Structure 1
């Protein structure tokens, strides 16, 4: 029992460091433009597709575990984490080489867009420690705690993945290619 406690403390320390570092690094890099870099304007539809694929795989992962397919669930969840990391790399690369695109819609649609965008951004930051903690609980074979954390993590992560696609679809007509 003592070994698990020490391992969990180490995980928690790393989860805290990563959960703080990622938003700070992304914010810093988001504001930095690589001089004379060719805009990576082809990336937004790719990283939006990655968000969509993540949403689908999250649903399949839940169905897998509900059907007793623990190995498949684990592989799907690990894939979702890898896809989220890939999304983040592409997102930052795009914003380091391209000017931000302003949403051009008006009226109620504009308010809807900004609501979705703001909740997407806030929850994408909040989901980082949730995903890492939930994954760590499974890794440490604490499946009771894993299930408790997953009940909160899953819907938030799914919301972030789906709203990432919605934000892209809504802003895509305004991209400069």
Structure 2
């Protein structure tokens, strides 16, 4: 298997990891609203694990195949690049926020954890969902050059 084939194989794995993180984030939110603290903790740790695996596999895919040029044109290209840009910027922003949330939870500083989670959660959810959208547009709807 050559690098391109391996990279193309990793792309749906990464989309699946983003989908897994999304489901775990939604479940974690529902659990905390229901005051099911242990279930919330497990769901959020699963989201962290899925996101961390995504990052490892994404960097591997990027090292193997580099960037792909979106094949869509016009409005489709503008929409794709807008989603991609916001996804990339917020993906970088969310990493230290999630690490801080983990630290606050581990040290049982739950008031601070809750305050930061109100900002971090929607960013992380957006990054997970737009990761799936970017994958779908690039690999299934318009393709790449």
Same fold (TM over 0.5): yes
Runs of 4 or more off by more than 3 Å in structure 1? none
- How far, CA to CA, are the matches of 1:99 and 1:51 in structure 2? 20
TM-score when normalising by structure 2: 0.92
Q: In the TM superposition, what are the counterparts of 1:27-176 in structure 2 within 5 Å?
A: 38-39=3-4, 40=6, 41-173=8-140, 174-175=143-144
Q: Which runs of 5+ in 1 are unaligned?
A: 1-36
The Cα shift of 1:168 comes to 0.4
Helix, strand or coil at the partner of 1:42: helix
The Cα shift of 1:175 comes to 4.8
The Cα shift of 1:49 comes to 1.2
The Cα shift of 1:58 comes to 0.1
Helix, strand or coil at the partner of 1:100: coil
Kindly tell me: are residues 38 and 106 of structure 1, through their superposed partners in 2, closer, same or farther at Cα, counting changes over 3 Å? closer
- How far, CA to CA, are the matches of 1:38 and 1:105 in structure 2? 24
- How far, CA to CA, are the matches of 1:156 and 1:168 in structure 2? 18
Partner of 1:13 in structure 2?
A: none
Q: Which has the larger radius of gyration?
A: 1
Q: Root-mean-square deviation (CA), in Å?
A: 1.6
The Cα shift of 1:53 comes to 1.3
Q: Which runs of 5+ in 2 are unaligned?
A: none
Helix, strand or coil at the partner of 2:35: coil
The Cα shift of 1:164 comes to 0.2
TM-score when normalising by structure 1: 0.76
